[in-house]
């Protein structure tokens, strides 16, 4: 049973990350000719395009993709809870939103870790690093404005990691099931 739960969690998380990345790429108006952007769009199009015919965007927000991501997050928690023998009822819809938020935070964390490692290894232009910079700028720029200039040393990611961990700790103590998501 543990193997099935592991595989289901992996499948739900992978799909959620792709859907979150799609919304995020549209939000930051990322370069859609980038290979990573093209991959995200091509993989998610079979799911998103049919729903987009019914649910249009609103004010530049891709409501269809957001709704699909929320549905996948809710199904993830509902399915895993059902396999564990728990019955949550309407609470699953609230926790689906929490799953979506936690997955988005985890994705931001992983992208910043990958950016840090790539900055040590990659020399010159890299299309993946370029798209990651576009994705993290809305989160890191406010920190960079507050932090003093340390002569080329950018500590904004460390501050962002600290802030994200504090938020995670606060939410784990106040919201149900946060640690199990």
DSSP per-residue string spanning 51-76:
HHHHS--BTTB-HHHHHHHHHHHHHH
Q: What is the pLDDT of residue 14?
A: 94
- pLDDT at 180 > cutoff 70: no
Which tokens go with 56? 């249009």
The mean per-residue pLDDT over the stretch 93-119 comes to: 88
Q: At what angle do helices 91-121 and 63-83 cross, to 10 degrees?
A: 110
Calculate the alpha carbon distances from 179 to 91, 162, 173, 175 in Å: 16, 18, 9, 9
- pLDDT at 119 > cutoff 60: yes
What distance in Å separates the CA atoms of residue 61 and residue 94, rounded to the nearest whole number?
21
Q: 180: which DSSP letter?
A: G
The mean per-residue pLDDT over the stretch 144-163 comes to: 85
Q: What is the pLDDT of residue 121?
A: 86
Percent of the chain with pLDDT over 90: 40
């Amino acid at each position: 049973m543990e193997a099935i739960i592991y595989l289901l969690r992996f499948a739900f998380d992978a799909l959620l990350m792709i859907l979150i990345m799609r919304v995020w790429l549209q939000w930051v108006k990322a370069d859609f000719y980038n290979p990573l952007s093209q991959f995200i769009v091509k993989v998610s199009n079979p799911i998103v395009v049919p729903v987009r015919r019914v649910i249009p965007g609103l004010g530049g927000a891709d409501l269809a993709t957001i709704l699909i991501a929320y549905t996948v997050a809710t199904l993830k928690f509902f399915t895993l809870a059902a396999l564990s023998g728990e019955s949550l009822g309407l609470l699953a819809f609230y926790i689906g939103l929490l799953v979506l938020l936690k997955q988005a935070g985890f994705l931001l964390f992983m992208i910043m870790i990958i950016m840090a490692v790539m900055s040590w290894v990659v020399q010159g232009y890299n299309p993946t690093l370029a798209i990651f910079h576009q994705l993290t700028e809305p989160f890191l720029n406010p920190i960079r404005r507050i932090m003093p200039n340390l002569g080329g040393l950018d500590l904004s990611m460390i501050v962002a990691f600290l802030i994200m961990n504090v938020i995670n700790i606060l939410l784990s103590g106040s919201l149900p099931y946060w640690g199990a998501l």
